[in-house]
Chain A
Amino acid sequence: MALLSLWQPVLNAQEGSLPTPDRTKEAEPSVSRAARVAWYTSWDQAQEDAARLNLPILIQSAAPQCRAVPGMW
């Protein structure tokens, strides 16, 4: 179920925006792990790894522009 564990933050997104790094915690050496999903962005790469590692593929596509303005899904 290795792939499944990467999907939990996607489920959180259904309730609102994804958790974001908490910059007030100066002592924290890294971004909150709850915010992280590692996405393949290339179908060729994803399919190759999925076949080689025997992992199912979850696809969620989106356009990286909102009303033609980039920088926002």
Chain B
Amino acid sequence: MRPATYEHKQEAEVLKRVFSLRNGSLQNTSFGLLGPDGKQRISRGGRSPSMVWRDKQSMISALERGTKKYKPHKGQRSLPTVVDLRLGLNIAASDNLPLVVLIVPKKKSQRAPLEEKLSRLAWSDDLIGGAHYVVLEDHKELEDMQGHRSSKQVQVLKPDAYGQSAEVVGAFDLKDKELEKHMADLLLAATGAPKDQRRHVRNGRRKGISWESLLPITDRLSTDR
């Protein structure tokens, strides 16, 4: 899993447990491998895999050794959702990926079957890793977006480069026919082009675009703004 650092209090505590410096501060990036209980350590922690293993092959060997005792159980994975639209747009923009928004009432009996249906698409071989997902209760936050269709349950968004806004490139209902093909086409249309980091940051600063994280940034390597 890849949590967004400095965006969730509880997750910050988990990340500090995975990796932190002697002063206990949360670092910009943290890496580690845990058991299914979320507590048992399978590897040391570090900023990234390269801090834990010397090369790719060492990592592969360690992962194979450390995980072989866990036989996967059968079952459907959850729809991997981002907590809200604002963060979802930023994360999707950072990955140059579409953001798929499911609009469904909060009531569990209505939400669960729709999330499960979308989850099956999200984890399918052709669509896996092709988008990020957010679930909203209504269309309010999408109303001003170009291309928004208020009658449809699922909106496929193409964020702008900074995740500040998005265009709706297509929408559908989960009962529509040929869902997988339709969604694949929309995801392709909503995938962004790779960005040059320096140019992106330079232009963002010129435009005055800035991200305010939920928690203070405590990594001294990241505080040079």
**Would you call A65 and B34 a contact (CB within 8 A)?**
no
Cα(A2)–Cα(B163), bound, Å = 31
Question: CB within 8 A of A40: which of B2, B72, B222?
Answer: B2
* Set of chain B residues within 8 Å of A62, measured between Cβ atoms: 2, 4-5, 28-29
Question: CB within 8 A of B211: which of A9, A49, A68?
Answer: A68
**Would you call B3 and A36 a contact (CB within 8 A)?**
no
Cα(A70)–Cα(B126), bound, Å = 28
**Would you call B67 and A17 a contact (CB within 8 A)?**
no
Interface residues in A1-58 by Cβ distance below 8 A to B read 1-4, 6-7, 9-11, 14, 17, 20-21, 23, 29-31, 33, 35-58
A1 in contact with B64 given A36-B130, A52-B75 (CB within 8 Å): yes
How many chain B residues sit at the interface, stated as a range, is 35 or more
Cα(A14)–Cα(B209), bound, Å = 29
Cα(A67)–Cα(B197), bound, Å = 11
**Would you call B201 and A43 a contact (CB within 8 A)?**
no
Question: CB within 8 A of B15: which of A44, A61, A67?
Answer: A61
**Would you call B93 and A60 a contact (CB within 8 A)?**
no
Contact with A along B2-46 (1 / 0, CB 8 A): 111111101100110010000000001111111111100010000
* Set of chain B residues within 8 Å of A68, measured between Cβ atoms: 210-211, 225
Cα(A54)–Cα(B95), bound, Å = 28
**Would you call A17 and B194 a contact (CB within 8 A)?**
yes
* Set of chain A residues within 8 Å of B10, measured between Cβ atoms: 43-44
* Set of chain A residues within 8 Å of B185, measured between Cβ atoms: 29
Contact with A along B200-222 (1 / 0, CB 8 A): 11001100011101000100001
Interface residue? B48 (CB, 8 A): yes
Cα(A70)–Cα(B209), bound, Å = 8
Interface residue? B151 (CB, 8 A): no
* Set of chain B residues within 8 Å of A56, measured between Cβ atoms: 33-36, 42, 66-67, 70
Cα(A26)–Cα(B4), bound, Å = 33
A11 in contact with B60 given A54-B72, A60-B29, A69-B205 (CB within 8 Å): yes
A11 in contact with B5 given A4-B67, A56-B33, A70-B211 (CB within 8 Å): no
Residue of B nearest to A43 (CB): B11
* A38 shortest CB reach to chain B, Å: 4
6 A-B pairs closest in CB distance? A36-B129, A69-B204, A46-B1, A40-B1, A70-B211, A71-B93
* Given A58-B32, A70-B164, 5 new contacts (CB under 8 A): A4-B67, A29-B188, A38-B122, A38-B123, A64-B91
